[in-house]
Amino acid sequence: MVAAAIVQDGKVLAAQRSTPPALAGLWEFPGGKVEPGESELEALVRECQEELGVTVAPGEFLGEVPNPYGSGGVRLWAAVLSDPESAQGQPTALEHRELRWLGSSELTEVNWLPGNRQFEDVVRPLLA
């Protein structure tokens, strides 16, 4: 699993899950599964296009935590929107209930998926 900490203007994008029912309402960093034959970074770009309708430019690898809902881990990269000024450059909740931009002090205000909550400490310094 791969995930993106999409940072813009000192805030990070959080996405509220709509499915499956057991996880609906919880918040996550956008991302998903790596398909056969694609690299992790290719999967990250593809997942953000599918889930948010935007292209991201992955940056620094931030870390990995165990995947509490399956095998393997969740690997997180810092990312930026490749063209945030264009009409297509702003994320849209295509597969999520809601999107929110969170500042450092707001990271604890959402109910994160357990694996994503573990990334708060590595994401916070990006939000200065």
For the chain, list the domains and their CATH numbers: 2-83+90-120 (3.90.79.10)
What are residue 17's DSSP bridge partners? Answer: 96
Rounded distance between C-alpha atoms, residue 84 and residue 35, angstroms: 27
**Residues of 106-128 as b/e, b for ≥16 C-beta within 10 angstroms?**
ebeebebbebbbbbeeebeebbe
Amino acid of residue 51 = E
Give the residue-averaged pLDDT of 82-98: 82
Whether the pLDDT of residue 87 is over 80: the answer is no
pTM exceeding the 0.85 threshold for the entire prediction:
yes
What are the tens digits of pLDDT across the range 17-73?
A: 999 999 999 999 999 999 999 999 999 999 999 999 999 999 999 999 887 777 788
Please report, rounded to a whole number, the percentage of residues in the chain having pLDDT higher than 70: 96
